[in-house]
Amino acid sequence: MSLTFQDASARVDAYISQFKEGYFPPLLMLARLTEEVGEIARVIAHENGKTPKPGEDAGDLEMELADLMFVMLCMANERGLNLERGFERMMSKIERRDADRWTRKDTEGQDA
């Protein structure tokens, strides 16, 4: 399955658009975004030594990251933003800015 930002954005918009309430207001979406980041932090902590509380699920990082993406898509849709364009702009920025920042892997003798 191949999914573009545009596809994901349209699917989220189709889902949200079926409800009279529509998208959450911006500050509530920011709170939801923060909540999802906290849930990602909890899963990572559980994967790296923190013992879950009794009865607490260790969590599913894939699902938590997808939850975060859903809220980000909602926020972008509500604001009329294009995340595909934003992602391309961001990658261009870091590819230029950080081109020599890190030590490159030696690819000699390795299969590409």
For every residue of 62-97, which 3-state class applies, written as one string? HHHHHHHHHHHHHHHHHHCCCHHHHHHHHHHHHHHH
Does position 23 have pLDDT exceeding 80, yes or no?
A: yes
> Which range is least confidently modeled, 16-20, 68-72, 74-78, 108-112?
108-112
**Mean pLDDT over the full length of the chain:** 92
Examine residue 103 and state whether it is found in any structural domain, yes or no: no
Residue 91: inside a domain: yes
Tell me the whole-structure pTM to 2 decimals: 0.83
44 Cβ contact list (under 8 Å, min separation 6):
61
Count up the domains in the chain and report the number: 1
In a domain, 111, yes or no: no
Domain of residue 64: give its range: 5-98
What per-residue confidence (pLDDT) applies to 36? 97
CATH code of the domain in which 57 resides: 1.10.287.1080
| Residue 40 maps to a domain | yes
- Residue 112 in any domain: the answer is no
Please indicate, yes or no, if residue 109 is contained in any of the structural domains. no
pLDDT tens for each residue of 35-64:
999 999 999 999 898 787 788 788 899 999
